[in-house]
Structure formats: C-alpha cells, structure tokens
Chains A and B, each alone.
Chain A
Amino acid sequence: GENVEQHPSTLSVQEGDSAVIKCTYSDSASNYFPWYKQELGKGPQLIIDIRSNVGEKKDQRIAVTLNKTAKHFSLHITETQPEDSAVYFCAATRGSTLGRLYFGRGTQLTVWP
C-alpha cells in the first residue's frame, strides 16, 4: 500500500511568517493529495487538495505544490495567524480507491502572536 511521510512533526512560527509542511509518498499511482486541518477536539477538516494533473493550487493564504517526479507535495501557509494553530495532515490516494486515504502522521503548527 501507500506510505506517506510528513515533516516536520512540530512547527512554531511567529505571526505573519510563512509555514511550510512537506510530505512524500511511495505509490507512483497516487493522484489525489488532500490536506486536512484538525483543531483541538474536532475532526479533520479538508482545507485544500491537489490532483496529479496540476503542479500548484492556491486558495488565499494557503497553497499546495506537487512534484510527481520526486513524489512529494507541500503545504504553504503565508501570513500566518494564531488561528492557523492546529494539526495538519497530508494524505494521498489513487482515484480508483475512491477515498481510501493514506495519512501522514501530522504536523503540530503553533503560531505565536
């Protein structure tokens, strides 16, 4: 099966700085890469996703990049705010599995005011 590795496990930044979280995957057939944000006491919530036919996708302060050759993808958060503090998970899957996601171990992001 797929193996997704995520780094770093913890990340602390000052408010207004950028944060980058990186993931690698092992299955070259994976073609869908979502990112989830999990706040304390809540379930993971999808914040952005990217498919293998594009290299970058942006949504306001959040962007994701994908390098299929190297089998890695990254989440970029610019102008971080304290409310961005949460655990972020990357995931990967093949479209044929229709949602059977393989998750990274998560990154605890802390944004200091």
Chain B
Amino acid sequence: DAGVIQSPRHEVTEMGQEVTLRCKPISGHDYLFWYRQTMMRGLELLIYFNNNVPIDDSGMPEDRFSAKMPNASFSTLKIQPSEPRDSAVYFCASSRSGSRAGNTIYFGEGSWLTVV
C-alpha cells in the first residue's frame, strides 16, 4: 500500500507569496494530521481532521495559515502570505480509528519549506 503522499517535497518561495502544501492520506484512514517540525520547537501539531472535519486547529500559528480537507483522500495546508519564520518541514500524517493498530500514526516524507 502507498503511504502518506505529500507534495511538493521541497519549496523555496519569497516572503509574501502564497504556499500550498498537499497531502494524500493512506486509503481508509479517517484521521489526518498536519505537523510542523523546526529545530526550535520540535514537532508541533497544527491541525487535525476526522472524517474530513477539522477537530482541533489550536496549533495553527495565526490567520495566515489555513487547512482544508475537501474529501477523504486530499488535504491542503495554505500559508498566505508566507514569512521567513514559516520555514520548516511540514508533515502530513494519517491514522485509522478502531483498528487493531490503535492510534498508530503514519507520517509522510514531509514538505521542506524555505521562505526567503
């Protein structure tokens, strides 16, 4: 089975530009998570969805960040306008409730964002 698929893998953009990160969760998974990883703050949960509905967005830094999940197989994380402090690795992850694996979360390979 394919794992969590993220795109782009790398993105370099100028300050003020809009950035859109994309994610395809593992088929059949009903939870989707967006994490951000930086040296300073480690792995931070930004937002997560259950059955395409946002459950907890308390980790979203500010209004410049938004996330959507229009269907079970696709999610986006958008930053508009981007700032240099948004430079980080953004991970999408998914899991399936009620499975024998329990709360196992599977991560994608990440989107490496650099804002100059």
Contact = CB atoms under 8 A, between A and B. Distances in A.
B34 interface: no
Interface string B78-102: 0000000000000101010100001
A95 interface: yes
A41 B13 CA distance: 20
A104 B37 CA distance: 12
A20 B31 CA distance: 32
A36 B48 CA distance: 19
Interface string B43-81: 101001010000010000000000000000000000000
Interface of B: 4, 31, 33, 42-43, 45, 48, 50, 56, 91, 93, 95, 97, 102-110
B114 to A, nearest CB: 14
A98 to B, nearest CB: 5
Interface residues of A, number: 22
Interface stretch (A10-18, A43-51, A56-64, A72-80): A43-51
A100 B56 CA distance: 9
Nearest to A103: B43
B102 A44 contact: no
A103 B97 contact: no
Nearest to A6: B42
Contact of B48 (A44, A95, A100, A105): A100
A95 B98 CA distance: 10
Nearest to A97: B103
A99 B95 contact: yes
B103 A32 contact: yes
Given A99-B95, A105-B42, A46 B108 contact: no
A71 to B, nearest CB: 18
